[in-house]
A and B are shown apart, each in its own frame.
Chain A
Amino acid sequence: MAVVIDYDKCTNCKLCYDRCPEGLFGLDEQGKVYVKYQHECWLCGACQMDCPFGAIQVRYEENVKPIFLKRDDKE
């Protein structure tokens, strides 16, 4: 699970930095946005929704904590 910025797409507009409700993006010494407090994400998806350049992905998968389990009785 992670909040991942694709720097090939990111233009450093700082929208995510400004809007993340948990304030978890930071700016490095060059003023570049990065994910500073990964652990405090509450998985709201706002950053991925709003990034004007589609540069953010917030990912989770079934095995980390069972958010969903694949059915075994699938026809």
Chain B
Amino acid sequence: MKLSYLPGCTLKTKAQDLDLSTVAAMGALGVELEELPRWNCCGTVFSFADDDLMHQIAPVRNLVRAQEQGGEQLVTVCSFCFNTLKRANLLVKENSDKLDTLNTFMDEEEDYKGNVNVVHLLEVLRDEVGWEQIAGKVQNPLKDLKVAAYYGCTLHRPIEAAIEPPNKPEALNDLIKAIGATPVDFPDMTTCCGSYQAVANPEIVINRTREILTSARESGAEMIAVSCPLCECNLKENQKELGELRMPVIYFTQLLALALGVDSHLHQCEQNPADARPLLESKGLIDACSATYI
């Protein structure tokens, strides 16, 4: 199976481990992710103003690129790209006048017809591959590993862009189960990490990180799996301040790659206060490495 893929800017810079482990793991599952030959930044945050079409150009231009590639689905794994692209897509699918305005403005592109579906990688794993198939391909079951599935906000909010009913987050739990680990439910699975408040109001993010790590720990988790590079960064970077609350943070695609026996690109988290390797090593899931918490 071949699917159009938009990694997003962060996956090419700070979160290369997310991009590389995604492509490796999907390859092992027989899904070829074909990166769009041309793409631009999605805009990161969906613009709330109804008439602010200027900020819908970037996401819709990417949808034109997916349409050019003949793809019916455009896959993303960054939660932010997913949310922004999916909502822009819904906006133009539901408002033909807005789509017309954008198509007229982008007069050098072919018209976007509104036929592309934006999907998150978890949806591909659930709907196109299937949990059982994934379980069948596991080479290295992650047994005895208790993983808190942290969804953050943007996979479930708003409801029309959610990957599943927001009051019943389970896709990531199901994946964790399929790869042989133990998913841990905890109260803050969909609590916001503080997101881009990290820039202007870092104390919000520190408090949120403390709350999320505390409830994950109290629920018995040993590590946290995430899909969003900003969640990852917030939950990780603030751990330097949080002493005994420390807990490894890992992209779910890295766990998936590890279980499938392909490169999980874990070495890319050098100098990481939430490095997952010492834990994985102590469980015999990876070979000995020299990683320590910094």
**Are A and B subunits of one complex?**
no
- Point out residues on A near B: beta carbons under 8 Å: none
- Point out residues on B near A: beta carbons under 8 Å: none
